[in-house]
Amino acid sequence: MAENKFDVLIIGAGPGGYVTAIRSAQLGLKTAIVEEKHLGGICLNWGCIPTKALLRSSEIFHYIENASAYGLSAEK
């Protein structure tokens, strides 16, 4: 197996990890990032951001369903 040498090794590719990796590389450091599953971590892939998108979609749907209370109508 080939030996690799890095200036920076980042464990975890969540919001903090991948930003650190990008900045380290921008500064010219040889950078490696280690992640068990998917880059972006829980927050970007399953947690915060997808949850907010689903909540916003359901909120808009609720507004459309109740638009008649405000004298508005909308087609699905």
pLDDT tens per residue across span 9-25: 999 988 899 899 999 99
The pLDDT value given to residue 38: 82
**Calpha distance 68→73 (Å, rounded):** 6
Which two structure tokens, joined as six digits, stand for 23?
């900045």
pLDDT (0 to 100) of residue 42: 79
Stated pTM of the model: 0.58
**What is the residue extent of each domain of the chain?**
1-45, 47-76
| Chain segment 34-74, per-residue pLDDT in tens | 998 888 887 777 787 788 888 899 999 898 889 899 898 87
CA 39 to chain centre: 9
